[in-house]
Amino acid sequence: MNTKVELCGVSLKNPVLTASGTFGFGREYNEFYDVGKLGGIVGKGLTLEPREGNDGVRIAETSSGILNCVGLQNPGVEAFIKDELPFMRKLGCAVIANAAGSVISDYERMAERLSETDVDMIELNISCPNVKSGGMAFGVLPKSVEEVTAAAKKHCKKPLIIKLSPNVADITDNARAAEQGGADAISLINTITGMAVDLYSRRPILGNVTGGMSGPCVKPVALRMVRQVCKTVSVPVIGIGGIMTAKDALEFILCGAVAVQVGTANICDPMAALKIVEGLEAEMKKCGIEDINELRGALQD
Amino acid sequence: MKDIAVRVTANEKLYDGAYIMTVEGDMPPFRPGQFAMVETPLGERILRRPFGIVDADDRSCAFIYQVKGEGTEALTHLRYGDALKVMMPLGNGFPLSSGKVAVVGGGFGVAPLLSVAKSCKAAGAEVRIYNGFASVEREMLSGLFAEYGTLTVCTDDGSAGYHGFPFAALESDMNDGFAPDVIMCCGPAPLMRAVKKLGESRGITTYLSLEQRMGCGVGACLTCTCKVDGHNKRVCKDGPVFLSTEVQP
Ligand SMILES: Cc1cc2nc3c(=O)[nH]c(=O)nc-3n(C[C@H](O)[C@H](O)[C@H](O)COP(=O)(O)OP(=O)(O)OC[C@H]3O[C@@H](n4cnc5c(N)ncnc54)[C@H](O)[C@@H]3O)c2cc1C
Ligand SMILES: Cc1cc2nc3c(=O)[nH]c(=O)nc-3n(C[C@H](O)[C@H](O)[C@H](O)COP(=O)(O)O)c2cc1C
Ligand code: FES
Which CATH number belongs to the domain containing residue A290 in this structure? 3.20.20.70
Average pLDDT over residues A268-295: 97
Residue B189 and residue B240 in one domain: yes
- CA A47 to CA A43: how far, in whole Å? 12
In a domain, A60, yes or no: no
Domain of residue B10, residue span: 2-90
The answer to whether B216 contacts A70, with C-beta atoms less than 8 Å apart, is no
pLDDT in tens, B177-188: 999 999 999 999
- Report in angstroms the alpha-carbon separations of A19 from A72, A266, A273, B28, B90: 14, 9, 10, 29, 23
Q: B134: domain CATH number? A: 3.40.50.80
- DSSP per-residue string spanning chain A: -B--EEETTEEESSSEEEPTTSSTTSHHHHTTS-GGGSSEEEPPPB-SS-B----S--EEEETTEEEE-----B--HHHIIIIIHHHHHTTSSEEEEEE--SSHHHHHHHHHHHHTTT-SEEEEE--SB-GGGTT-BTTTSHHHHHHHHHHHHHT--S-EEEE--S-SS-HHHHHHHHHHHT-SEEEE--PEEEE-EETTTTEESSTTSEEEEESGGGHHHHHHHHHHHHHH-SS-EEEESS--SHHHHHHHHHTT-SEEEE-HHHHH-TTHHHHHHHHHHHHHHHHT-SBGGGTTT----
- The pair phi, psi for residue A88, each rounded to 5°, is -60, -40
Interface of A with B in 200-239 (CB under 8 A): 215-216
pLDDT surpasses 80 at A161: yes
In a domain, B221, yes or no: yes
pLDDT for position A198: 96
Residue B54 and residue B168 in one domain: no
Q: B34: domain CATH number? A: 2.40.30.10
State if residue A190 touches ligand 2 by the CB under 6 angstroms criterion: yes
Domain of residue A24, residue span: 5-54+72-193+215-294
Residue B112 and residue B215 in one domain: yes
Residue B143 and residue B208 in one domain: yes
Interior CA angle at A13 toward A10 and A17, to 5°?
80
In a domain, A129, yes or no: yes
A109 touches chain B (CB under 8 A): no
Average pLDDT over residues A203-208: 96
Residues 6+ apart with CB under 8 A from A108: A151, A152, A154, A155
pLDDT surpasses 80 at A94: yes
Residue B83 and residue B111 in one domain: no
Residue B58 and residue B180 in one domain: no
Interface of A with B in 135-174 (CB under 8 A): none
Domain closes at, from B46, B72, B90: B90
In a domain, A11, yes or no: yes
CA-CA-CA-CA dihedral for B108, B114, B120, B125, to nearest 10: 80
Q: Are strands A210-214 and A65-68 parallel, antiparallel or unpaired?
A: antiparallel
Residue B152 and residue B80 in one domain: no
Average pLDDT over residues A141-157: 97
Residue B220 and residue B170 in one domain: yes
The answer to whether B213 contacts A58, with C-beta atoms less than 8 Å apart, is yes
In a domain, B95, yes or no: no
pLDDT band of residue A129 (cuts 50, 70, 90) is confident
B3 touches chain A (CB under 8 A): yes
Average pLDDT over residues A107-112: 97
pLDDT for position A133: 79
In a domain, A236, yes or no: yes
Q: Which residues line ligand 3 (CB under 6 A)?
A: B 214-217, 219-224, 234, 236-237
State if residue A21 touches ligand 2 by the CB under 6 angstroms criterion: yes
pLDDT surpasses 90 at A128: no
* Number of domains into which chain A is organized: 1
Chain B residue numbers with beta carbons less than 8 Å from the beta carbon of A22 are 216, 220-221
Residue B155 and residue B81 in one domain: no
Residue B85 and residue B114 in one domain: no
pLDDT for position A295: 97
Query: Between chain A and chain B, how many beta carbons pairs sit less than 8 Å apart?
Result: 88
Interior CA angle at B133 toward B129 and B135, to 5°?
135
A44 touches chain B (CB under 8 A): yes
A 10 A CB-CB count for A212 gives 23
pTM for the full predicted model: 0.96
Domain closes at, from B33, B62, B90: B90
Comparing CB atoms, the residue among A24, A29, A268 nearest residue B47 is A268
pLDDT in tens, B78-124: 999 999 999 999 999 999 999 999 999 999 999 999 999 999 999 99
pLDDT surpasses 80 at A174: yes
Residue B145 and residue B189 in one domain: yes
Mutation for testing the A interface, residue in B216, B237, B247 having most A CBs under 10 Å: B216
In a domain, B30, yes or no: yes
The answer to whether B222 contacts A58, with C-beta atoms less than 8 Å apart, is yes
Tell me whether residue A128 is one of the annotated catalytic residues: yes
pLDDT surpasses 90 at B37: yes
In a domain, A142, yes or no: yes
pLDDT band of residue A131 (cuts 50, 70, 90) is confident
* Number of domains into which chain B is organized: 2
